[in-house]
Amino acid sequence: MTSEVLTSVEGPIGRIRLNRPKAIHALTTAMCEGVLEALEAWRGDDGVRAIVIDHAEGRGFCAGGDIRMLAESGAKDGAEAREFFHTEYRMNHRLFTYTKDIVAFMDGITMGGGVGLSQPCRFRVATENTKFAMPETGIGLFPDVGGGWFLSRLPARVGQYLALTGHRLDGAETHALGLATHYLPAEKLEEAKRRIAEDPAAIETILAELSIEAGPAKLLDHRADIDRLFASDRLEDIYAALEADDSDFARETLATLQSKSPQTMKVSLKLLLDGKTMPTFEDEMRQEYAVGARVVQRHDFLEGVRAVIVDKDNAPKWDPATPEGVSDHVIDQIFAPLPDAEAWTPA
């Protein structure tokens, strides 16, 4: 069987290539373990001076995680889902704290787990093919893999907008928001990788020389609207602001939110509120693991996966069905720290 993650050393470069093309390289526990093992092996290897992460064949960098497995596990005891989150978050944390330069090439679909793979890296390359999103509220999940950390650090209320709506950013928008450090034409990626392998000390210069103007970031035309309409950390207030606004943008945004899980939209708002002042990324991962371990067994996640991925009727029946139905008590229960014996720990 062909490995779903290909790791190799090419001269002074450690290469990590996601290789699950039929699933747009969605991550499995074994893939996360493979990345962790490679990073650990190269950490003390002076011959490996930088790391490159990209994907093998296919139309995207990484579409997320193995959602079907998570739902099947969540419908039972949740043990397999917790194992996946535990391993994936260890990978995210290892990338975040790694001392060697890492370059992630976000060519094509970069969602969920792909965001978690790319955002901890020092260099993050977008192209005209990039489609960047955290669409989890549409399946009763929340923007994990460090979403509470990265999205809360975007300008003003853009992170809250992205977390709740799952809006897809193109490459230019991804770059404008700083989620990508560089914007290259896709045809220049192989040249970039070749030059980095020849001179890993010059990554920044190489990427800068190959970068081009990304073009207009259309979402930024709505920055003032987003900051005003998403000003509150209460979902009910955001709904009220959108309902009181007669612009096309507000109407379309409200319709989008009405299709998402109210429970996990509230989870997302608290995640970003806490994430902005989280002392360390390790603390962020510990909290997200506690939240994920619970959310994966709740009704909305199982129902969201049924509606979007299994039956594909795109008509989830959320419970509770409205923001008002989701009590503060339920959110507090979801966010309660796990007992020490069950809590997430870094690798």
Residue 98: C-alpha distances to residues 90, 103, 114, 285 (Å): 12, 12, 18, 16
The residues that are catalytic are 65, 113, 136, 144
Q: Which residue has 């950013």 as its token pair?
A: 169
Contact predicate 181/124, CB 8 Å: yes
Tokens of 190: 């192989």
Helix spans in the chain (H):
29-43, 67-74, 79-97, 113-118, 147-150, 158-165, 171-176, 189-198, 203-210, 223-229, 235-243, 248-257, 262-275, 281-295, 299-305, 328-335
- Residue 55 half-sphere exposure toward CB, CA atoms < 13 A: 26
Other Cβ atoms within 10 Å of 247 Cβ, number: 12
* Residues recorded for the chain: 347
Contact predicate 17/56, CB 8 Å: yes
- Residue 211 half-sphere exposure toward CB, CA atoms < 13 A: 21
Local structure of 101: helix, strand or coil: strand
